[in-house]
Amino acid sequence: MPVSDEILVKRSQKGDHISFEALVKRYEKKIYNLAYRIMGNKEDASDVLQETFLQAFKNLASFKGKAKFSTWIYRIAVNICLMRKRKEKKMLTFSLDVPILTKEEDEIRRDLSEDWSKNPLATLENKELRKTLSNAVDLLPEEYRTVFLLKGLNGLSNQDVARVLRISLPAVKSRLHRARLFLRDKLSQYFREYGSRA
C-alpha cells in the first residue's frame, strides 16, 4: 500500500529528503500537465514545474496540514502560472460581472439547428475537431480555463477546485458551466462550418 501524502509530508518536514522526493515523483506529471495546459508550451511548463517544487520545498515547514497536500501544491503551481501569465501581459482583463461567455437565449437557439452529438466526426480521432477543442480551451479567459483544467485534468471535486483557487463553490460551478457552454458553442461552430464545406 502506498504511503499517504500526509505521512510523506510529515517525514519531509523532519528532514527526510527521500520522502520529499517521493512527493515530487507522485505529483510531477500532474503539475507538468496542468502547467502545460495553462501556459501552452513545454518550456514554460518545465520552468513552472521546477519553481513549484522549489517553493514547496522552501515552504514545507509552514505547511500545517489543514488542507490536503494536493490542494496546497496545485495552488502553488496555479499561482506561479498565473503570475507568469500576468508578467507576460497575456492576461485578458475582464470582469466577472460581464458574462462574456454567455450568450443570449436567442443566440443559443439560433445555432441549435443541428444535433452533431451523434455525428461520426464528433470524436477526438478527428484531428480537426481535436484542434478546434484545444484552440477553444486556449481562448477561455484564465479564470475559466484554470477551473476547467483543475477539474478535468486532475479530477478534483468542485469543492477542491474552490479550495485551490480560494473562491466560492458557486463561483467554481458558474465558471465551469460557462466554460462548457463556450466550448459547446465552438464545437457547434465547427460542425456548421464543416457542414457548409461538405
Partner 1 sequence: MMDFKRLCELLSDYFDEELESDICAGIEELVSEDPFCEVLFNTFNRTIKLCEEWEQEKIEVPEEVHIRLHRFLKLEIRKSVPKKK
For residue 172, state whether it binds partner 1 (rule: CB under 8 A): no
Among 65, 152, 170, 195, interactor with partner 1 by CB under 8 A:
152
Q: Measured between alpha carbons, how far is 60 from 29 in angstroms, rounded to an integer?
A: 20
Cα 61 from chain centre: 27
Phi, psi angles (nearest 5°) of residue 187: -70, -40
Among 53, 69, 72, 74, interactor with partner 1 by CB under 8 A:
53
Q: Return the range that interacts with partner 1 (CB under 8 A); candidates 62-70, 76-84, 93-101, 181-189.
A: 181-189
1 SS3 class: coil
Q: Per-residue contact track with partner 1, 1 to 30, x per CB under 8 A?
A: ----------------x--xx--x---xx-
Least distance from partner 1 to the Cβ atom of residue 166, Å = 21
For residue 79, state whether it binds partner 1 (rule: CB under 8 A): no
For residue 171, state whether it binds partner 1 (rule: CB under 8 A): no
8 Å CB contact between 191 and 110: no
